[in-house]
Structures are given as C-alpha cells and as structure tokens.
Amino acid sequence: MNKQEILFATGNPNKVKEINHLLQGSVYSVKSLKEMGIEEDIPEPFDTLKENAQAKVDYLIKLKGTPCISEDTGLEVKALNGAPGVLSARYAGESKNAADNIRLLLKNLEGINERTARFRTVICYWDGIQYHFFEGIVNGSIAEKPKGVSGFGYDPVFIPENQYRTFAEMTANEKINLSHRSRAFNSFLNFLKKQDD
C-alpha cells in the first residue's frame, strides 16, 4: 500500500511513533520535522492550544505549502488553575526536561489533596485550502510520585480516570486506547476517511 504522507509539525519522535501506530492500516502516515530536514523549534507564542497548533501549521505552510498537521497538548491541573497548560513542555524551563517538569509539578502540589487533572490535545490540519481542528481530552489525576518507565512527558504521574496505573505503567497499546492524543487523532482519521468516501 502506498502511503500518503502528511507533514507533522513536531520534532518529538515519541509523538510521531504514537501517531503512526494509530494510522496503521490506513493510507496515511506522518513525517516529522526532522525527517523533513527541519531542526529548529517552531515558536509557540500563544496562550491557547488551538492558536499554537495553528501557528505551527502556518510555519509549515510557508515552508512547504502542502497538507500538514500539528498538535499542541497541555496538562491542565485543577488545583493549579489549569497550569502548566500551554507551558507544559517548558514548565520548568526552556530545556523541556520532562523530569524537571514533573519535579516542579509535584512540588507545586505538595500538601494539596485535590489532584484532578486532564490532558488535552488540539490538532490543526490544513488540507491545502482550509483549517480543520480536532480535540481529544482524557480526565484523570496526578499521582503522589512518578511510577512506570514507558511513555514520555508527564506520563509517569498521570493516572487516567477509572484506572489505577499511570500512563507510564501501561503498554503502548493500553495508553493509546485511553490517551488524549489518540482521541484527537481518531477524530482526525475519521475526518480523512469521510473525505475519501
């Protein structure tokens, strides 16, 4: 089967791997910034996931002018008024160090019993003519300490609703069945399928 490549505005190989896993069996695959020879970070200057997702797509449109997608994901913690939110990747600084981000998050939640949180992903897809947006949300809570070695980002401290393990304690398939990113990308994939019908 010849795959139709869609440019994906991310430099995160974990995200690329996760999304291509979701796209198995379809005619689509995603290609990362690095695979396109783009090494620099695309700016994410806005206060909302939707605006940042569109900004990354606009960057690729100027460079390539072909159909492309981007996503922006944030961990939103109720007791922290929605933080880290759009700053999730840079919560502890511009180095984007996941372990540092987790340490800061747990420090900011010390002594707080309310640990409700959610992961939210917003996808922006430009089909060559117009923008389309898709959202995926998974509710859950923040663990008292990191557990598990799988996944990436905040996965070691995020426990999805109605589960007892963190994302990092789950297999890739278990996480994909529950995750915010897969929910957003499944909506995107359903949209693509309708276009092919």
State the Cα–Cα distance between residues 56 and 131, nearest whole angstrom.
Answer: 12
What was the pLDDT predicted at 51? Answer: 95
Amino acid (one-letter) located at 146: P
- Among 58, 72, 100, 197, the active-site one is 72
pLDDT at 16 over 80: yes
What was the pLDDT predicted at 57? Answer: 93
pLDDT at 136 over 90: yes
Mean pLDDT of all residues in the chain? 90
pLDDT digits (tens, 9 = 90+) for 44-82: 888 999 999 999 999 988 888 888 999 999 999 999 999
Enter the pTM of the model. 0.88
String of b and e for 68-77 (b: at least 16 CB within 10 Å)? bbbbbbbbbb
Question: Could you tell me the pLDDT band of residue 12, with boundaries at 50, 70 and 90?
Answer: confident
Mean pLDDT of 31-46: 82
Tell me the two tokens of residue 11.
């430099």
Q: Is the backbone peptide bond immediately before 84 cis, with ω within 30 degrees of 0?
A: yes
User: Annotated catalytic, 72?
Assistant: yes
Cβ within 8 Å of residue 23, ≥6 positions away: 29, 30, 185, 189
pLDDT at 195 over 80: no
Tokens 């996760």 identify what position? 18
pLDDT at 149 over 60: yes
pLDDT at 40 over 80: no
